[in-house]
């Protein structure tokens, strides 16, 4: 790929898409394309086809998806299944029909079976049943992976799927009703610190283990896939290191400067005991994460503080 290659980033305003855009710009790529959902509805097959026929991108990075937590997935299963398939199918099919040279499809570790052995290897895909609370989203993403694989097999195109572990970082979602565990903890500890270091109550026992990847490292993995021809169709992207939720809480407490008590509400669910990615395939190719967890949390907290006024309309619950 040259620095002038026309690169379309679907979902360029999200946490992942915006990180990819920033890094491509910093590395001298000059021909980036990004459209908001009001400018191009990715669920509209005709509109997507017209966009591709007109703009003729060389590369497509699919960071667009309908996402949400357990409650949203359970409440709107049809939308999570259908809208994600519409988005990715339109992008993948239009890319194939318009001879897009490289397509990078982004997914999630939830594609793997609920009870798959740890750490999660790419080979475990479709070997057992999924986690019921997000299977609709997972099934959609699996169809995207299979579409990419089938195009490689049938048309020998340089299309690849990258499956990240839990992502966090700047431009994250800090809404306590919809955010994931790490940004939610940052907000809770910060607001408790501001409230005379009040106690912070967290869900579950604190014993489940989770892996976290800073979003700039995810963006770097996408650029690695862009600049190299990867030999297989599916790769995990993560750190290969996890920690307990209790350890995570204590690390975030340290970074935010909260000195109060941490309380655990054991009546609330813990979720999956462990979800660690095997990232040996990416390591063998030469990509590895650079941002360690404490440094990443510190960067994320600083960004949170700089943008705190945009979070204040949602009261802490």
User: Does 167 count as an annotated binding residue?
Assistant: yes
User: Does residue 127 have a known ligand-binding role?
Assistant: no
| Residue 302 labelled as part of a binding site | no
The strand pair at 243-244 and 209-210 is best described as antiparallel
Is 69 assigned a ligand-binding role in the annotation?
A: no
- 221: annotated binding-site residue? no
Q: In what order do the strands lie in the sheet with 243-244?
A: 243-244, 209-210, 274-275
DSSP letter at 114?
Answer: T
**Residue 16, annotated as binding a ligand:** yes
Reply yes or no on whether 8 is catalytic: no
Residue reference for tokens 């980033």: 9
Residue of 137, 159, 235, 301 marked active site: 137
238 has binding-site annotation: no
How far, in Å, are 118, 119, 236 from residue 241 at the CA level? 12, 10, 13
Q: Are 71 and 44 in contact (CB under 8 A)?
A: no
17 is in an annotated binding site: yes
Q: Distance (Å, rounded) from C-alpha 73 to C-alpha 191?
A: 28
Candidates 98, 99, 13, 3; CA nearest to 48 is 98
Residue 161 assigned to a binding site: no
Integer angstrom CA distances of residue 103 from 2, 212, 304, 309? 15, 25, 32, 37
Q: Establish whether 166 is an annotated binding residue.
A: yes
Q: Known binder of ligand: residue 203?
A: yes
User: Which residues are annotated as catalytic?
Assistant: 137
Q: Which residues are annotated as a binding site for NADP(+)?
A: 11-17, 106-109, 141, 164-167, 180
Q: Which residues are annotated as a binding site?
A: 11-17, 106-109, 141, 164-167, 180, 188, 203, 210, 270
């Amino acid at each position: 790929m040259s620095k002038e290659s026309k690169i379309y980033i679907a979902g360029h305003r999200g946490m992942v898409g915006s990180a990819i855009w920033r890094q491509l710009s910093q590395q001298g790529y000059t021909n980036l394309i990004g459209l908001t959902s009001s400018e191009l509805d990715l669920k509209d097959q005709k509109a997507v086809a017209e966009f591709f026929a007109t703009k003729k991108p060389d590369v497509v990075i699919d960071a667009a998806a309908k996402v949400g937590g357990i409650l949203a997935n359970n409440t709107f299963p049809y939308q999570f299944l259908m809208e994600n398939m519409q988005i990715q199918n339109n992008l993948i099919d239009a890319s194939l029909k318009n001879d897009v040279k490289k397509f990078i499809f982004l997914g999630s570790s939830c594609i793997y079976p609920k009870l798959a052995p740890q750490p999660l290897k790419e080979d475990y895909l479709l070997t057992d049943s999924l986690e019921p609370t997000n299977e609709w989203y997972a099934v959609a993403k699996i169809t995207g992976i299979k579409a990419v694989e089938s195009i490689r097999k049938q048309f020998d195109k340089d299309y690849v799927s990258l499956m990240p572990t839990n992502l966090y970082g700047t431009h994250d979602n800090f809404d306590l009703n919809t955010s994931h565990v790490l940004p939610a903890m940052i907000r809770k500890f910060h607001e408790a610190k501001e409230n005379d270091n009040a106690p912070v109550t967290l869900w579950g026992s604190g014993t489940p283990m989770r892996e976290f990847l800073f979003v700039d490292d995810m963006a770097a993995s996408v650029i690695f896939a862009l600049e190299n021809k990867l030999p297989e169709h599916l790769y995990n992207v993560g750190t290969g290191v996890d920690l307990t939720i209790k350890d995570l809480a204590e690390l975030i407490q340290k970074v935010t400067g909260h000195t109060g008590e941490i309380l655990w509400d054991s009546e609330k669910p813990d979720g999956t005991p462990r979800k660690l990615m095997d990232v040996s395939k990416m390591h063998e190719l030469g990509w590895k994460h650079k941002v360690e967890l404490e440094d990443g949390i510190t960067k994320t907290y600083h960004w949170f503080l700089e943008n705190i006024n945009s979070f204040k309309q949602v009261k802490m619950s």
